[in-house]
Structure 1
Amino acid sequence: MRGTLIVLEGTDGSGKATQAKLLLRELAARGVNCREIDFPRYGNPFAEPANLYLHGALGGRPGDVNACAASVMFAVDRFASYKEDWGGFYEAGGVVVANRYTTSNAVHQASKLRPEERRSFLDWLFDLEYRRLGLPEPDRVLYLDMPTEAANRLMRRREAETNTAADIHEQDGDYLRRCRECAGEIARTQGWAVVNCAGDGVPRTPEDIHREVLAIVLDCLSR
């Protein structure tokens, strides 16, 4: 019996982790058998290539590693996580909420390419992860659309509060703007649900965004 896979996607600083926690808490309160997965899995050996890429060991800018090479690093971690961790839960009918998924490769890596190259890249990517590696396709993808300037402010505050350093994606404002532009295009063509996380450049409260996210997810689970 196949489960349900809900993916929360968005550029860095869009609030995915917060929304995942709020969503899991509400679903559990409603008696839904659910759990969260989060990528990349920092500290797991299968995530180490992606970790090295994100922290500059393979080049100080995102474009120093091409879209396909970077995608494979993240895909390996995802495949291993399915085999090691959550595959059995999903296959037994559980509801899985993913903070990032194959969709992150789509957003972050397609943005490195010229617009006319993106369609063929996405075809390659989805064939790699969903068919050749056998990972489940999402039942619903929710794209949390946060303006880049607002996301940057939130990321800087998070870094100060947690005493952490930004990775090469988070450090590059131009790259994040391209990711957001690319994500809007992909969301339209792939049928993702777009949740606008700010009005007039001012972020909505997490609770307000959560209500919209929850409504979309409950509709998906009711089908």
Structure 2
Amino acid sequence: MISNLPDKSKGKFIVLEGLDGSGKSTQYLRLCEYLSHVGHNLTRVDFPNYQGSFHGELIGRYLRGEFGEISQVNPYFSAWLYAGDRLEAKEKLVNGLEAGHTLVANRYTGSNLAYHSVKLPPAQRPGFLQWIKALEYETNGLPKEDLVVYFHLPVTLAQQMVDRKASRSYTTAQRDLHERNTLFLEEVDAAYLELCQTELHWRVLEVVDPASGELCDPEIIHRQLLELLRQEKLVE
């Protein structure tokens, strides 16, 4: 099979993944600030782009429950929405990598793999995962990541952290369609952890203090993330 993957040999691509409430967005901002400070040319992307893309606006409607509950929405349709949102950003992604920039993404294809595969019976999930990879990396020609870091914490703690968030652009609810479904999120977390075992470029970063059971201080998580990136030779 001939791949449509663009040549990204000049730049490196780092993706941060995690449940909402994992501190991922905070670490995304801190990592981008650090990389800029130490001299990296940087391209940054934050998915979904709720208000800046056609598909992102539809994703907002999906997460508000306008298309039905999770079990009522075909996962091929919901995954297609998120893939389309990234496709709209393809030029920015490719141009950044071709210019030799370090590309940092807050969520990427991994979110599609984890969140939408668990909507299907286990026997159907491997085929669905391959479909998503073919859609995003081959048909849509999106660049593949050099490293994916999964910020791991218990689902109940993630939900508690979501409850502390300020209002968001795409919903007036404190928890969206995904965030309010604990059993669904537990399956998503398990899917992420399995991907960390099966995908060679995925890593887990534990973000909970084992002594307190609370989310680690953001500075501690930031240092752990930088150490991981140094081990992978993606930062100095």
TM score, norm. by length of structure 1 = 0.92
1:58 aligns with 2:70: no
- The equivalent residue for 2:194 is 185
What amino acid is aligned across from residue 212 of structure 1 in structure 2?
Q
What amino acid is aligned across from residue 155 of structure 1 in structure 2?
V
Conservation of the 8 A alpha-carbon contact between 1:16 and 1:144: yes
Conservation of the 8 A alpha-carbon contact between 1:140 and 1:220: no
How far residue 185 of structure 1 moved from its aligned partner, in angstroms, is 1.1
Secondary structure of the residue aligned to 2:162 is: helix
What amino acid is aligned across from residue 90 of structure 1 in structure 2?
L
What amino acid is aligned across from residue 97 of structure 1 in structure 2?
V
> Which structure shows the higher helix fraction?
1
Secondary structure of the residue aligned to 1:57 is: coil
How far residue 33 of structure 1 moved from its aligned partner, in angstroms, is 0.8
CA distance in 2: counterparts of 1:210 and 1:164, whole angstroms: 30
Q: Give the percent of matched residue pairs that are identical in Structure 1 and Structure 2.
A: 36
What amino acid is aligned across from residue 221 of structure 2 in structure 1?
I
Moved over 6 A (4+): 160-163
Secondary structure of the residue aligned to 1:199 is: coil
1:9 aligns with 2:17: yes
* Alignment match of 2:204 (pick from 194, 201, 207): 194
- The equivalent residue for 2:32 is 24
C-alpha RMSD of matched pairs (Å): 2.0
Which blocks of at least 5 consecutive residues in structure 2 are unaligned? 1-8
- The equivalent residue for 1:216 is 228
Secondary structure of the residue aligned to 1:188 is: helix
TM score, norm. by length of structure 2 = 0.87
CA distance in 2: counterparts of 1:220 and 1:11, whole angstroms: 26
- The equivalent residue for 1:206 is 218
CA distance in 2: counterparts of 1:96 and 1:118, whole angstroms: 29
1:120 aligns with 2:127: yes
Conservation of the 8 A alpha-carbon contact between 1:20 and 1:36: no
> Any idea what the Cα deviations from partners look like across 1:21-46, whole Å, max 9, x if unmatched?
11111111110111321111011242
Count matched residues: 221
Conservation of the 8 A alpha-carbon contact between 2:44 and 2:105: yes
Which blocks of at least 5 consecutive residues in structure 1 are unaligned? none
Task: Describe the shift of the 1:42–1:174 C-alpha distance in structure 2 as closer, same or farther (beyond 3 A).
Answer: same
What amino acid is aligned across from residue 197 of structure 1 in structure 2?
V
What amino acid is aligned across from residue 221 of structure 1 in structure 2?
L
> Any idea what the Cα deviations from partners look like across 1:33-88, whole Å, max 9, x if unmatched?
113211110112422222221111101x22221221111111111011113x3431
1:169 aligns with 2:178: yes
